[in-house]
Every structure is written in C-alpha cells, then in structure tokens.
Amino acid sequence: MSGLFISFEGPEGAGKSTQIARLAARLASAGVVHRLTREPGGTPLGTRIRDILLDAELEIHPLPEFLLYSASRAQLVQDVIRPALQAGEVVICDRYADSSAAYQGAGRGLDPRLVANVTWEATGGLRPHITVLLDLDPEVGLKRAASRGQPDRLERADLGFHRRVRQGFLDLAAGEPERFLVLDAEDNEAQLEAAIWQAVGRTLAALGQPVNSG
C-alpha cells in the first residue's frame, strides 16, 4: 500500500463533514491526489444499506445492525479503499471500523471480540494510518444534529447510549495513541483544520510525499 488512509470519527454533531471538506481543500491546493468516501455508503450496495440503517422507522437489533455495517464496509474496502491506496492516493473516510467498536460494541453492548473478529474479516485487517477523533459532549452534539433537521435512527437513541459511544471512542484512542489524533470538537474550526493538516503533512512526509503543512 503506497497511499495514505485517514478516517474521521466522533459522536453525532462533532463536525466531521466540515473538517473533511477543509482537509480535502488543503490536499487539492497541495496537488495531492485524494478520494473521499464514507460509511456506511461509498458503493451502490453501501448506499442501499445506509438507507436501511438510518431509517428512523425501522427497529434493528444490535447484531444485524453490526452485520449490515460490516457488509457495507467489506464492499467499500474491496471496491474503493484498497484500489485507491494501491494507486497511491490519500483516502479520507467519514467513519470506519472504529465506529462499530464504539456504536455497536460500547453503545449496544455487543461482545468486543465478536466486533473485532468480524471487522478483521470484513476489512482484511486494513486500518487507517491516521484516525481523527473529534470529541464532543453528546448533549452538545445531539443539539447540533437536531438543528440539521429530522433525526435519523441513531440520533434518536437515548443519551445514555451516546455517552457510552463517546467513552468507547475515547477508550479506543487511549489504546492506540500513535494512530488517533484526538481533538476537542468545540475548538475553533480553523484551529481544528490546522491541527489536522499538520498531522497529515507529517505522515505524508514520512511516506515520502512531503507537502507544506503550515
């Protein structure tokens, strides 16, 4: 793999979309070939699965919920992420496997060994070089999400669930500090952008693709 794989994670309303767009603009200005994708989604199959998973009218039990996410992830890795990395591109993914560990593992209470084993099979062990975790108090995040319109199925979950999800993300970051970049999502957007770009610039330089990270 000659490319760079970056994932963005965080609770609802953390501002991932904003920072992904800002990073993509920086990469474009630097002439770095990059590709944006998301989970669930990113492929025709993933898009259909996304519609099911976020449908507020559906009741989905934790195990089938996790398996649906895993199916979308497996398709995305095979069709989009691996080919792009092999072509030397920077891949930016809005959520990846850590979301399942946080949402279905910590949030829903699925056995973390099951989550880890199925995720390994779905991804072939592919992990991001950098995971940007935009950390945010769930109460603040849910208010932000509600301002965007009708809440989806996950956003409708109770506050206790969202608190477990946040803690799940923080526990993952504590276990892999070399991969995670943990940032306070309530910081100024420009400050967040600068911190992310600095980390990406360092990693690109380490991979032999130096850019101006200032």
Binding-site positions for ATP: 10-17
Q: Is 53 exposed, middle or buried (0-12, 13-18, 19+ CB in 10 A)?
A: buried
Question: Backbone phi, then psi, for 129, in 5-degree steps?
Answer: -75, -40
Are 54 and 157 spatial neighbours (Cβ–Cβ below 8 Å)? no
The residue type at 9: E
Bond prior to 138 in cis (omega within 30° of 0): no
Distances, alpha carbon 71 to alpha carbons 65, 67, 101, in Å: 10, 6, 15
Annotated binding-site members: 10-17
